[in-house]
Amino acid sequence: MTPRCRLSPALISSLLSLLWCFAGTAAAAEATAGDKDGLILRYHFTPGEAVSARVAHRAVTETTINGTTQSVETATDSVKTWRVTGVDPEGQTTIEHLVNDVTMTSRTGGQEQTRWESDSTAPPPPGYEGVRLSLGRPLSQLTIDSCGRVLSRRDLFPNPPSNTGDLMVVPLPDEPVCVGSSWNIPEEIIVDVPGGPRKSIRTRLRYEVTAIRDQQVQIDVDTTVLTPVDDPRIEARLLERIWDGHIEFDAAKGRVLSRSASVDRRVVGFHGPQSSVRYKASRDEQLLVR
């Protein structure tokens, strides 16, 4: 008889975190001609505007311990909104991030799929109760400068840390961009290992302009781990944070039109020599109104 499996706290946290990560797609920006060799990209918002994006996340986690493999599949579809509450004379912008609605599904092994839609009258299944409480209300408040640097952030609703490696706001370089332009953003990830000390991991996000056509700017982003890591337990904790992706920016309309990211990695030995974990996931965001 197959034992009944329940959603683990880590999986529930991962599902919940999808509601708050990567709202940067909704940001508006302006592109100003810098010199004949490139464009200067700067964020620009109008007080009172609200821009929404549809986000789709798919993930499969396969865990093997002592010859027994368990697979967990999750899918989350949501609509997220950035609401601009203020812009000062220097272009510093205050934004509230909301999630309007969400559909969440999960399946463990060969068990029956669990599915919940936020617009349903049915009560949410165990582990999803906090999702309904968070919908339609500001989750966090950000203040950013014209290049997308986050000057301050205040969480207005309890939420787990983002489980993604990219940044909430696409960072823009100070210099004009053209094909081949690149810029690096350093990051620090704090990893908690059960039964072990916390460890700080340095990473680097590298953005590169790969094409510009008809004012459409294509940008690739990849993540590099700079801190040497030789502990499989830490590697397993980093699986959800090391993404490669693509950004489509419309310089004429001043919008990040879409963002996509994917990861497919495996770690061996995270729970003894006969253990392995594979994490395969994709995330796509599309601006709803262009």
Please check the confidence at residue 166 and state whether its pLDDT lies above 70.
Answer: no
Please check the confidence at residue 18 and state whether its pLDDT lies above 50.
Answer: no
Top-confidence range, 58-67, 116-125, 128-137, 154-163? 58-67
For residue 3, the 8-state DSSP code is: P
CB neighbour burial string for 33-56, b if at least 16 within 10 angstroms, e if fewer: eeeeebbbbbbbbeeeeebbbbbb
CA distances from 129 to 49, 116, 118, 120, 194 (A): 30, 11, 10, 13, 26
Please check the confidence at residue 235 and state whether its pLDDT lies above 50.
Answer: yes
pLDDT value of position 33: 47
Fold of domain 9-287? Lipovitellin-phosvitin complex; beta-sheet shell regions (2.30.230)
pLDDT value of position 130: 80
Please check the confidence at residue 162 and state whether its pLDDT lies above 60.
Answer: no
Q: What is the mean pLDDT of the chain?
A: 83
Three-state DSSP state, 135: coil
CB burial of residue 218 (10 Å; 0-12, 13-18, 19+): middle
Please check the confidence at residue 179 and state whether its pLDDT lies above 90.
Answer: yes
pLDDT single digits (tens) 180-212: 999 999 999 998 887 777 899 999 999 999 999
pLDDT single digits (tens) 28-69: 445 454 445 788 888 888 899 998 999 999 999 999 999 899
pLDDT value of position 167: 60
Side chain identity at residue 36, one-letter code: K
CA distances from 110 to 72, 73, 106 (A): 9, 10, 11
| Annotated domain spans of the chain | 9-287
Contact 23, 168 (CB under 8 A): yes
